[in-house]
Structure 1
Amino acid sequence: MFIVSLSYTAPLSAVDALLDAHVAWLQRGYADGAFLASGRKVPRNGGVILARGERAALEQRLAEDPFAQAGLAQYDITEFIPTLTAADLDALREPLPG
């Protein structure tokens, strides 16, 4: 599983101009089963996406984000293994390898 942290590299006016296209891109990620949760950072200087799948596929998907294509954000990807979760998130648990 991955935590993707987006940091805006442009003014919010430029981000807002592509927000509808970014949301449509996010919705495709949810429809494909790659994205589990997403939202704005507070303060609004970027966003966070919780994703699953293969890292290479995620990197390709992130490159297709309208924010990335316009140079409006940079992306930091952190991979983790969710070995413990709240009961509502049991389906996301993964065993440790080996």
Structure 2
Amino acid sequence: MFLVTLRFSANKAKAAAFMEGHNAWIQRGFDDGIFLLTGNLQPSAGGAVLAHNVSRADLESRVKDDPFVAEDVVSAEILEITPGRTDERLSFLKG
């Protein structure tokens, strides 16, 4: 499982120009069964994605395809998490 942080760069003002493509990128992640959750980093710092069922290499490639990343609106960091303990509602994450 992975947590991807997308922190705004100095080019944050360009976000509106690439929002449609970014939203389409998010939708593809959900449609492909990779993204479990997306949301905003507070306060107005960027976004985050919880991803699973993907290799790190494939996720890195997918993240590079995000228009926000490609156009340097955000900088991405991928954190890999190996679930140990989970609430039973999230037991599917333990693989």
What CA RMSD, in Å, does the superposition of the two structures yield over aligned residues? Answer: 1.3
- The TM-score, its normalising length taken from structure 2, stands at 0.89
SS of residue in 1 equivalent to 2:26? helix
Q: Report how far residue 11 of structure 1 moved.
A: 4.8
**What is the Cα deviation at residue 34 of structure 1?**
1.2
Matches within 5 A, 1:13-92: 13-52=13-52, 53-92=54-93
Q: CA deviation at 1:68?
A: 1.1
* Deviation at residue 35 of structure 1 after TM alignment: 0.9
How many corresponding residue pairs?
Answer: 94
- The C-alpha deviation readout for 1:28-56, integer Å capped at 9, x for no partner, is 01111111111111101111101121000
Which consecutive segments of 4 or more residues in structure 1 shift more than 3 A?
A: 10-13
Task: Look at both structures and tell me which one has the larger radius of gyration over its CA atoms.
Answer: 1
Q: Which ranges of structure 2 fall in alignment gaps of 5 or more residues?
A: none
Greater relative contact order (Cα < 8 A, sep 6+): 2
State the percentage of identical aligned residues: 38
